[in-house]
Amino acid sequence: MTHSLRGLSFNPILTDTDYMAVHQFKKKVVVDYRDPSGQYLPVSIESISTGATDDFDLFTKAGEQFFIVKPKGNKLNLEMLTKLKKTNPYLYIKAEDRDTYYARFDNQLSRMFRDTRLSPNEKAAVLTDWTVEIIDQLFKDPSHPESVQQAKSATEHFVRFISERNQAFLELVELRDHDHYTYSHSVGVASYSIALAIAQGYKDEDLVNVGLAGLLHDLGKSMIDPKIINKDGPLNSDEWSQMKKHPLYGAEILSRHKDLDPLIALAAEGHHENLSGTGYPRGVEAAKLDPLISIISMADAYSALTTKRSYSTPRDAVTALKLMKESIPKKFGADMFKSFVVMFLNESNRKKVA
């Protein structure tokens, strides 16, 4: 017997109450916190208590001006930190300190994840900051081998963080405040892909590969005219023709990195293919591709629907899932889609549909 859930149908049964228990993200105003002058680099205020910024001058922004709130070597007191959190989710370090700041992250993250005094949200903030910066550098120079290795290292931390407990992936995507679609979207796709792969029974190296593929799946957009990427409105036919080339560009870029698993390039090429063979760029039936690519495609679709774009506002979780359900079986397999929905249910509701 199959029950309908406000437009979603599954077997085994999910009730309307279960469906409405899907995790709803906090509504927030998404702002571009980057410094247009390039002189300052934003760091999440949630990361401050981890000690990551202790050795750097720390600034806040008021209007277009930056003011120092903590000299290097000092710590922000709790009262000041609490006050700053109410006004701005980001503080800033000098851009000239970028390399020194991020060079420590790989070792620092391993230490931070073992530190029981830090909340999951604080750990997620540091990891997300670093990952967004890595993506930024890769889009500026997609061929840079060091940035690709940093992306792999960040993904290993993603896997460790998400594997710790149910719905840990939500803490990573909740922090996507950046008003840059590609960066926020990449973090989302990596997070959802790892969580779905875990739900599908994948382990170890497969989780790192699917996460890294999710993180880098849109790297080909670095070869597309930024005016098309950031257009404030739907693309015309010529622009859409150009945009549809980004999977091939991404596969070409990633295939040059010989130390990457071949899946990473294949996922970049195949993440817009679908089960009916009507996707792009090659019109390949998704069933003929590696199953992990279908995971990335589903994560990509959900993240695209729920992330702010230049021409559209993000949908809430339930609306996005309803829209995706309408694509079964053309784009998505029903069993995998059910697993994806269940990821967003709390523990008690998960047990009902297990």
d(CA 155, CA 267): 15
Domain for residue 223, yes or no? yes
Domain for residue 61, yes or no? no
What is the pLDDT, as a whole number, of residue 352?
A: 53
Domain for residue 68, yes or no? no
Q: Which residue bears the tokens 């950031």?
A: 230
Domain for residue 263, yes or no? yes
Q: How many domains does the chain have?
A: 1
Query: What is the average pLDDT across 11-28?
Result: 47
How does pLDDT run across 290-334, given as a tens digit for each residue? 999 999 999 999 999 988 776 678 888 888 998 999 888 889 899
Contact between 229 and 139 under an 8 Å Cβ cutoff? The reply is no
Res 341 pLDDT > 60: yes
Higher pLDDT, 54 or 247: 247
Domain for residue 78, yes or no? no
Question: What are the structure tokens assigned to 128, written together?
Answer: 């997300």
Domain for residue 225, yes or no? yes
Query: What is the average pLDDT across 190-196?
Result: 97
Indicate which CATH number applies to the domain containing 141. 1.10.3210.10
Which runs of consecutive H residues, i.e. helices, occur in the chain? 16-20, 78-85, 98-103, 105-114, 120-140, 145-163, 169-174, 181-199, 204-216, 226-229, 237-243, 246-255, 262-270, 291-306, 317-325, 334-343, 347-353
Domain for residue 307, yes or no? yes
How does pLDDT run across 225-284, given as a tens digit for each residue? 999 988 888 899 999 999 999 999 999 999 999 999 999 999 999 999 999 999 999 999
What is the pLDDT, as a whole number, of residue 204?
A: 92
- For residue 156, the enclosing domain spans 3-52+97-353
What is the pLDDT, as a whole number, of residue 239?
A: 96
Domain for residue 88, yes or no? no
